[in-house]
Amino acid sequence: MDWIAVLSGFGVGAIVGMTGVGGGSLMTPLLLTVFKLHPAVAIGTDLFFASITKTAGSVSHHNAGHVDWRITRTLLAGSIPASLATIALMHFTGITKGWASALTFSLGIALLLTAVTVAYKPIWQRLGLRLERYVPDARKPLLTVLCGLLLGVLVSLSSIGAGAIGATLIMLLYPRMASHRIVGTDIAHAVPLTLVAGIGHASLGHVDWSLLAALLTGSIPGIWIGAQLTRKMPEKLVRALLCISLVTAGLKVIY
């Protein structure tokens, strides 16, 4: 057992438990910098990590009635085809140096976008309420599918986006939805999307299975402990530290 991987999984799990931000925002940069994986392998491994760790959360939110399955299905109508198309393009072209550069750049951009969504979290709902007058209900299904398309491509290229970015897009389109339903709907959408994208990357040989097992061993208790700590730590402090970490990781990946 690789104890560095177990401890890494524990640390990421604890942060996810405290902040609710998807593990991909933290795990993929860790796989690149600490474990020195190829960008495609880091992304594929993290996609399976995300799909497994979020399954329990999805079931829990479903049992509590916190998932809007209509919105989830509409998002999936865009994200799954987009993910399949992105993976198919990788199969068709092969993972060249150009793809490696594109994956790394996409990862850096996704990290910076996640930092923005976390930093300005209180603002997005107010912005959504202002936009509501310009976005009638009849247009929301199409816009939701388009958001799914964006997330499908972003997640397949970077493994990031199904968490904080997905929740922010839902909040912008449906600002009157209760926060716990936004979180539940976002997680329910993330599970099949990350699984499909993960299977696609696995078909290209982009998953380190032994490392994945070690990461999961540490993440499960880490998520539980993080959920307990979140009650004792100031939210603004946690959010600020997370944003600094995301921006630092994003700039390092890009440059």
Which whole number is the average pLDDT over 50-77? 88
At 58, list the tokens.
Answer: 């999805």
Which whole number is the average pLDDT over 35-55? 89
The one-letter amino acid code at 235 reads E
**Per-residue pLDDT, 223:** 75
At 135, list the tokens.
Answer: 């976005």
Residue 100 scores a pLDDT above 90: no
Which whole number is the average pLDDT over 222-245? 70
Which whole number is the average pLDDT over 175-179? 87
Measured between its terminal Cα atoms, the distance across the chain in Å is 33
Neighbour count for residue 40 (Cβ, 10 Å): 20
pLDDT averaged over every residue in the chain: 84
pTM score of the predicted model: 0.85
Cβ atoms of 159 and 22 closer than 8 Å: no
Rounded CA separation 154/160 (Å) = 7
Residue 45 scores a pLDDT above 90: yes
Angle at 158 between CA 157 and CA 161, to 5 degrees: 110
**Per-residue pLDDT, 63:** 85
Kindly state the percentage of the chain with pLDDT values over 70: 89
pLDDT (tens digit per residue) in 102-130: 888 888 888 888 888 877 877 887 888 88
The one-letter amino acid code at 138 reads A
Confidence of residue 238 (pLDDT cuts 50, 70, 90): low
DSSP result, 217-232: HHHHHHHHHHHHHTTT
Rounded CA separation 84/233 (Å) = 40
Rounded CA separation 47/153 (Å) = 13
DSSP result, 85-98: HHHHHHHHH---HH
